[in-house]
Amino acid sequence: MSSYTQKKLAAATLVAKADDYIDTTTGGITPPIITSTTYARDNRYRPIDDAHVYGRDDNPTFVQAERVLAELEQGEEALLFSSGMAAIAAVFYTLNSGAHVVLPKSMYWGVFTWTRTYCDRADIAISYYDTPDAESISQAMVNAARTDFVWIETPSNPMMHVTDIARAAQIAHAAGAALVVDNTTPTPVFTQPLLLGADLVVHSATKTLNGHSDVLAGAVVTKEVNERWEKIAAERRGAGAVPGAFEAWLLLRGMRTLCVRAERAASNAMQVAQFLDEHERVESVLYPGLSSHPGHAIAKRQMHDGFGSLLSFQVMGGAKAALDVASKLNIIVSATSLGGVETLIEHRYSVEPPETCVPENLLRLAIGIEDIHDLIDDLNQAL
């Protein structure tokens, strides 16, 4: 490792250099893909390299990506998982029967639906708080003898509610609970929850961290290595919920351009939001970068250098009008997911569970890195 890496590197430098990786055998500057699922032992049956025993426990390929992500989030350690939901499940699997958690009313429906099913089966109580109001977390804990953790997703998907992370951390810690933040949407480029008081950060690394819509992966990052973290690591090890070597390598490769992709997409998103905000056929635009957004002040305080690439808007005329707009787009593709280099649109009401609170006329835009004029022209003609 070269001498200048002893000082703190900026995020853009850190990811571009993959944590200043240089292969000690060949001098290669690109980390290799280590495909071995097992590792040799010496004649006393001791691992030749104590760090590597079996592929379900670790692999140098995803250890490299974990180190980069931990530094990006300013955490002590990170663990990769086979998907974002696998990472989230590992956090919940550490809870004992009779535990209590506090979740937001507005969140990604996959997490909302899975947690209700799992917690009901595992005898874990859930209370919900009003997503944009961190103060309502206290009320959600009133009837619980003890709360194990509070969950935040900010900005929430797809309603783009903003939650005050620092205030939520104060409330959670005062009650003896940990704070877990889903940082998938903003990424550490724009928000670093651990620096605001969070204890754990989770990611669907499938999204912006990878950025090319070709990898399923998840991650958990911890502020400190403690008993809770050891339980999460044990859950991953026991379940074997690790990514494949190739997927981990693709994720690391994607993260090397994370900053430039995220900044370009956020810039595009801001301009698209401003365009839609002035369009006569648009009822409302949900994007925290707009000064008219109810959570703009909080977002401005806890996000830096941009407000992310995700936004939603409501079309005048109801569900049919919204679906018509989506069907008339040429460049923007109707598809699930976010964080890729391409711009995607989705009618969330069509894919949410029946009890969804998402309006029928809402369209979610996951903005990519295309030319901004092409994106606006496409939206304009469709509207």
> For the segment 221-249, what is each residue's pLDDT rounded down to a tens digit?
999 999 999 999 999 999 999 999 999 99
User: Are residue 168 and residue 208 in the same domain, yes or no?
Assistant: yes
Q: What is the pLDDT of residue 288?
A: 98
Predicted confidence (pLDDT) at residue 372 exceeds the cutoff of 60: yes
H helix runs in the chain, sequence order: 11-16, 60-72, 84-93, 109-121, 136-140, 165-174, 187-190, 227-239, 245-255, 258-277, 296-302, 318-328, 348-351, 372-382
User: Are residue 234 and residue 280 in the same domain, yes or no?
Assistant: no
Comparison of pLDDT for 322 and 35, the residue scoring more: 322
User: Are residue 52 and residue 160 in the same domain, yes or no?
Assistant: yes
β pairing state of 200-204 and 218-222? antiparallel
Domain holding 357: CATH number? 3.90.1150.10
Nearest Cα to Cα of residue 161 among 268, 302, 313, 286:
286
Q: What is the pLDDT of residue 50?
A: 66
Encode pLDDT of 317-371 as tens digits.
Answer: 999 999 999 999 999 999 999 999 999 999 999 988 788 889 999 999 999 999 9
Count structural domains, the chain.
2
User: Are residue 327 and residue 365 in the same domain, yes or no?
Assistant: yes
Where residue 269 falls (left for φ over 0; alpha for ψ -120 to 50; beta otherwise) is: alpha
Predicted confidence (pLDDT) at residue 22 exceeds the cutoff of 70: yes
Predicted confidence (pLDDT) at residue 2 exceeds the cutoff of 50: no
Domain containing 226 equals 3-255
User: Are residue 33 and residue 177 in the same domain, yes or no?
Assistant: yes
Q: Return the active site residues.
A: 56, 108, 182, 207
Q: Which residues contact 230 (CB under 8 A, 6 or more apart)?
A: none
Q: Which of 225, 255, 285 is the last residue of a domain?
A: 255
User: Can you give the pTM of this predicted structure?
Assistant: 0.94
